[in-house]
Every structure is written in C-alpha cells, then in structure tokens.
Amino acid sequence: KQEVTQIPAALSVPEGENLVLNCSFTDSAIYNLQWFRQDPGKGLTSLLLIQSSQREQTSGRLNASLDKSSGRSTLYIAASQPGDSATYLCAGITQGGSEKLVFGKGTKLTVNP
Amino acid sequence: DTAVSQTPKYLVTQMGNDKSIKCEQNLGHDTMYWYKQDSKKFLKIMFSYNNKELIINETVPNRFSPKSPDKAHLNLHINSLELGDSAVYFCASSQWDRVTNEKLFFGSGTQLSVL
C-alpha cells in the first residue's frame, strides 16, 4: 500500500529565504507526481506536474524534482514571499497500481514578512 | 469564472439525516472525482467517474452514492449520516479517464459537520 510522507510537517521562514519541501513514497515506482497548494478554507491548486518521462518541472520560483529510484520528490521555492504561505501537498500515482493519486498530509509553510 | 464549483460550502446536520453535495465543472473535462479530507488532513479518493461511468469506488460505505447526470456534474448523496462522516469533501476534475498525465482541478470543498 502506497504511503506518502512529507517533511517537515510545518515550516516557518523569513521572507526572501529559499526553501525545500520533501516528499517520500513507500513504493518508489511512481508514475507521475503532482505538487499542490492548499489555502485555508479553499480547495487545492495544482502547482507542478511531473509526468512519467520527466524528472523535474519549473514554474516561476518553483522547481519540483522526482528521483524515481528512491521515490523522493522535492519542491524548491526560491525567494519566498508572504503570499507563499499555505499548505503544500504532494501526490503520486504508482506505476502498475491503480490510477489513484495518493496524497501526503502536507507541509504547512509560513513566510514571515 | 469558477472552474470546479461545489455547493454547499458548509453543511451542518444531525446524525441519521440524508444530504447531498453538488459539483459542477465548466472545464470540459471527462473525469470527475470525490475526495475526502479527514481531521488529520489526509486526502483520500472516494469515487471517480469518466463520462458518467464509475471507474473508481474506493471501498466507501454504500451510504455514499455518487450520481453523474452528465460529464459536467458529479453529485454526492449521503444516507443516514454518521458522526464519522464529518470531514471536508472535495470535488475535482481532470481531462482524461486517467489522472496520469493531466492536472487535477479541485473545488473549494464542502465542510460537513454531523452533530
């Protein structure tokens, strides 16, 4: 059974810092992976999608990478801003498994002005 | 324009009641989903439909019955509500019948509280 762990559970940083959020899967055969952002009282917004043939994706100040051999992914946020404060969730689909996204519990990020 | 919209946003009800949550997407997607986020913040899939056909039913109690009148709508009906049903329910959609290569778009959630 696929399980997803996100470390740290919470992170508080001063504005301007670069930071890394981590995600790991018990089953490393990840077919594709998505990083989402969830704001309080709102739904999830897809940030980056790493498809089966890719190793990383970049969007603005965000960069996500996936190491399929270890089943680990990182989300790098450059020059963090207070508006980045939210909970970040990773989710993946296991190769050869059912076509369901399995989510981590998320990392709650607070960027202080 | 809201891409995936669900109503109501909040739902407070008594144990034993029957309630429905509605979801609509205007993205032209083929596939829609219901996810449940429990108090521990885990998001788990409940159902997915592709072009009105059920493709994933994730061992959800049969008190939960999804209904898809067309591919733009996926409603969730819950019978005989129990305390443990309290959670936030999210609707989502994606382009194909496989999530594999397409992003998932989520609604803003329905917070269900069963008293």
pLDDT at A28 over 80: no
- Confidence grade of residue A33 (pLDDT, cut at 50, 70, 90): confident
Residue A38 has a pLDDT of 93
Q: Which residues of A touch B92 (CB under 8 A)?
A: 43-44
Q: Which residues of A touch B90 (CB under 8 A)?
A: 43-44
Residue A96 has a pLDDT of 58
Residue A97 has a pLDDT of 53
Residue B110 has a pLDDT of 95
Question: Which of these ranges, A104-108, B44-48, B75-79, B108-112, has the smallest mean pLDDT?
Answer: B44-48
- Confidence grade of residue A42 (pLDDT, cut at 50, 70, 90): confident
How confident is the model over A34-61, as a mean pLDDT?
89
Cβ neighbours for B30, distance < 8 A, ≥ 6 positions apart: B50, B51, B71, B94, B95, B96, B97
- Confidence grade of residue B35 (pLDDT, cut at 50, 70, 90): very high
pLDDT at A30 over 80: no
- Please write the tens of the pLDDT for every residue from A73-105: 999 999 999 999 999 999 987 765 556 778 999
Question: How far away is chain A from the Cα of B88, in angstroms, using its nearest Cα?
Answer: 9
What angle (nearest 5°) sits at the alpha carbon of residue A67, between those of residues A10 and A55? 105
Closest chain A CA to residue B97: A99
Size of interface A-B (CB pairs under 8 A): 60
CB contact under 8 A, A100 and B103: no
Residue A64 has a pLDDT of 96
Q: Is A95 left (phi over 0), alpha (psi -120 to 50) or beta?
A: beta
Residue A63 has a pLDDT of 97
Q: Residue B104: name the closest of A110, A28, A38 by CA.
A: A38
pLDDT at B26 over 90: yes
- Please write the tens of the pLDDT for every residue from B44-68: 889 888 888 888 777 788 999 999 9
B99: nearest CB among A44, A99, A103: A99
CB contact under 8 A, A44 and B90: yes
Question: How far away is chain B from the Cα of A22, in angstroms, using its nearest Cα?
Answer: 17
CA–CA gap between residue B1 and residue B75 (Å, rounded): 20
Question: How far away is chain A from the Cα of B18, in angstroms, using its nearest Cα?
Answer: 24
Q: Contact at 8 Å (CB) between B47 and B59?
A: no
CB contact under 8 A, B106 and A105: no
Q: Residue B13: name the closest of B109, B80, B107, B89 by CA.
A: B80
